Structure 1
Amino acid sequence: MLLTKLPKSSVNQSKRLRRRLRNIIDSLTPQNHPGKRILPFVLFILFLFITNNLFTISQTECQLDREVCPPEIVQKLDKLTGSNILFLNQKQLSGVLMDSFPVEKVGIGFQMFNTLKVNLDGGHPPILTMVYLVKELPMVSVDKASGSTESAGWPKPSEELKIFTQNASPSSFGIWDNGRMTPVATDEAKIIYILSKKPDEETVKSLYRLTKIANKYLNVDSILVLGQRVFLSQADQPDIIVSVPFDEEQVSEAIKSYSYLVTLKKDVKVIDLRFKNPIIR
């Protein structure tokens, strides 16, 4: 865990300020003056007042991989407004941030004047996703004709799902390689995730890996997830169906053979990789 201490310049500045105040008061006060006895106390109170104002957190700045931090992290940091940076437990704050968010490094600093700066390094960046929470998952045409290999009478599942989400309001999330999903601020994402309940970490991990494989071997326009099923959509090409979690080796080899699979049948709408042998429809 990477922690940055309070800048030395800030500490040295407060020490210089304290010595300067003492010298000024000493020069203005005769050696035998009665007030000389209470000068240390007055100086101490004045020092505390100035220090409190100089090092009180009035605003926070947070970046994750050089982008603005998501709302849930910003809200945690905003609670520190009004506190003094000198009494901030940086180790404890770093622990709270790492428990709340899948980051690898936390940097904490203080910028004059009165700004707490936090830099987070996420290691592997999240995959942006638009999530649609529904009471019941919609049915696509490929489900209604599950007993047939013919596809001429129905559209591609990806097209149906895009229409389904047109009138719905999504929430934006980041999908991480460790299986966590966290809110992010974005209006666009390649992945559309339709779900009726919160997915488990293994499913999210699997979806993260599948997305990386798809982006490596295919020219994917969008990825639509319906519960445990993933539809990989390409322009003017059949949809690829994969279930998550999935057999990574088996699916990777099938995706590499995609250009061959699409030639095995005319008017193909989907290539289903949920089974040991791909089903072409």
Structure 2
Amino acid sequence: MPDRRRVLQTLAGLFLSAFGLGSYAYAWEPAHQGVTRYRLKPADWPEGKSLRLAAISDLHVGGPHVPVSRVREIVDLTNLLRPDLILLLGDFIASRPKRPDDPPEAAWAAELTRLQAPHGRFAILGNHDWWHDDRAQRDYRGPTEVRLALEAVGIPVLENDALRLETKAGPLWVAGLGDQLAFLRPRRGQRRGIHDLAGTLAKIDDDAPVILMAHEPDIFARVPARVSLTLSGHTHGGQVRILGWSPIVPSHYGNRYAYGHVVERGRNLIVSGGVGTSKLPIRLGVPPEIVLVELG
């Protein structure tokens, strides 16, 4: 039978290990930005052509790890990557209730307007960008405060819309889906989301490649092969990820669309782990990231 000293030493070791791991998950990993790189060639991508996409998701500005100064750092790092196109995948707002000391939308939007890419910067909204807006929730319609802030600094917000761009890789469609969880308490007969996948894709009228931005990745189960690449956020990779598995994922599909590059029936999805945190202010095994995609 173990003596009392050995038991106490074991308990102390377990406590210190748990304390150290918790400190790492709260103070270290969420504050250390990385770049996650992917290289892929969709089936319909033109031969010999390349394009570099940068994607930023789930900033959650005003949360415990993302003051406006952190947004400035992320913008600077993204510009150093020299992307051809920058896509912002939603959830600009902190996940907690509003507070009087929250940074104004204009402050972080002004930082995002410094993003530089020859083929432009485009955004979609996430669920928290809708949930934070009392007027939008009450009236069951936009535009949200976040959308107005982005458009005020010249960043187009695509909600069930598609734009055709002329890029160095040839013509390209950038499409943005309305949020799938826009309303916290939908009225009877009211949909929870404003997403319209069929209506968005109906605006594409030629065979140029299509990049689809969809904040929540669950829609990917319905995305047709016509779409070259779907980019999503929302899950934060589960925020805790152990050996490629996340115990909690805000998705109907669990770990299927939790994080990273997913290939199904020849279709490509990349789910960003995002930057900020939601609900619990921790990250473990899924550090904050800017996603860089080399197409071609």
TM range (shorter): under 0.3
TM (norm. structure 2) is: 0.21
- Bigger radius of gyration among the two: 1
Q: Which has the higher contact order (CA 8 A, sep 6+)?
A: 2
TM (norm. structure 1) is: 0.21
